[in-house]
Structure 1
């Protein structure tokens, strides 16, 4: 019992520090501090899933997940972001890829202006190019995917992502099933979540699970991907996303 209590305390400390670092980074426009904060919150969440009895404390996990989502929603609302998140595959400026939320639905994107130090992209010729860069959001989960895959996901295709994401998320209790259907210019993704989720929030402020799957798809296909809709169905959360072309198109 004492061991479990210590883990809960450690989780709480990680989450509080994560929130503080994220807010500090947000106010200072510092990507490094923001990413550290997000990582802290995520690690705090994950600690809840590793009890000595291998029991996932779902109520606590869902509470933390909600705080995580609310923090990002605050960023998005305060910046009046209207666009839907774009998942960028790794390239020279962003070696781990990234998630970019455009200021407007009618957007333009110049990948040459992004780098790992970018948070708010405002120094651009057109307002259409403005937005918020979240960095490789869900990156810790992607690292788990690649550990399970025993290699990089670059160029592996959508079926590899379906297999590895499904296995890892199922083992962590975060999703029961992941299904990916690829068409010429789009994806249909079904995630049967293992915890309570609010899919309508994921269009602009994605949760780590959805973000990790979409960012892995961008990595595996070399395509920028924009998620167009998240809908709750009887069989899970259905995500519809479109391909935006490779990195070269947006440089």
Structure 2
């Protein structure tokens, strides 16, 4: 037989979290209990974060994919059914969100109200301000890889210039075989990012914010600039994904 496979503690804990979360979510949906639905979805996010970083020497990618595929597909179905029409905003860490977050607005035209965010919230609902409604993912998907960026850099990436941050992202993700190639260009207040497709980035489509690898890149940019980053445009080509990013001010 081949080499022995060692499953990390994060994987074991993650699988336990997955089973528990799906049970809570099912109970919440069956009995229309919003608190249980929120808790169940939060558990699914934690599962993804726990299973974001699995070094190649610990587990083969095909085994990792077999363990996590059904959960990823289930999470994609949840977000497809939520029918969120806005593009995501990557929020840097601040007083309300210690680890930052990803906000997906309900509508294409939206208002960003950071004072409405809280780490215990998932659904941002405000009947008096429908433009502020959406879903908040916190801790954000990709935060585990973001921590890896800072480990490799040796300190916080806050205020790191764009050339340095992309160099750090490229070297870190390449060393973990999580990305093939990454290009960027900054012009007229916009940042264009090209992420060349591989197994880790090509299966999410318009739900790209559910990819830990893709989201880690935008979280890093947001944290380095200390401003929310809005994904203004997304185009999927045969060989790569292209994103246009702009800085966003809270209203």
Band the TM-score falls in, shorter-chain normalisation: 0.7 to 0.9
User: What aligned pairs does 1:5-44 form with structure 2 within 5 A after superposition?
Assistant: 5-7=5-7, 13-23=12-22, 24=24, 27=28, 28=35, 34-35=41-42, 37-44=44-51
Give the aligned partner of residue 4 of structure 1: 4
What TM-score, normalized by structure 2, do the two folds share? 0.81
Give the aligned partner of residue 159 of structure 2: 155
Tell me if the contact between 1:22 and 1:38 (Cα under 8 Å) persists in the aligned partners.
no
| Unmatched segments (≥5 aa) in structure 1 | none
C-alpha separation between the residues in 2 aligned to 1:29 and 1:221? 36
Give the aligned partner of residue 72 of structure 1: 75
CA RMSD of aligned residues (A): 3.0
User: What aligned pairs does 1:47-58 form with structure 2 within 5 A after superposition?
Assistant: 47=54, 49-51=56-58, 57-58=60-61
Identify the range of structure 1 (84-93 vs 31-40) with the bigger mean alpha-carbon deviation. Answer: 31-40
C-alpha separation between the residues in 2 aligned to 1:107 and 1:137? 22
How many residues are matched? 240
C-alpha separation between the residues in 2 aligned to 1:141 and 1:97? 14
Tell me if the contact between 1:187 and 1:242 (Cα under 8 Å) persists in the aligned partners.
yes
Deviation per residue, 1:24-72 (Å, 9 max, x gap): 3795368777555434334345336233xxxx63333444564454233
Tell me if the contact between 1:85 and 1:100 (Cα under 8 Å) persists in the aligned partners.
yes
Matched, 1:88 2:115: no
C-alpha separation between the residues in 2 aligned to 1:94 and 1:45? 20
User: What aligned pairs does 1:194-213 form with structure 2 within 5 A after superposition?
Assistant: 194-195=198-199, 197-203=202-208, 205-213=209-217
Residue 132 of structure 2, aligned match among 118, 129, 134: 129
Q: Shift of residue 176 of structure 1?
A: 2.0
C-alpha separation between the residues in 2 aligned to 1:67 and 1:201? 18
SS of the residue 2:108 aligns to? coil
Matched, 1:222 2:229: no
C-alpha separation between the residues in 2 aligned to 1:74 and 1:163? 34
- Rate the CA distance shift 1:20–1:67 in 2: closer, same or farther, 3 A: same
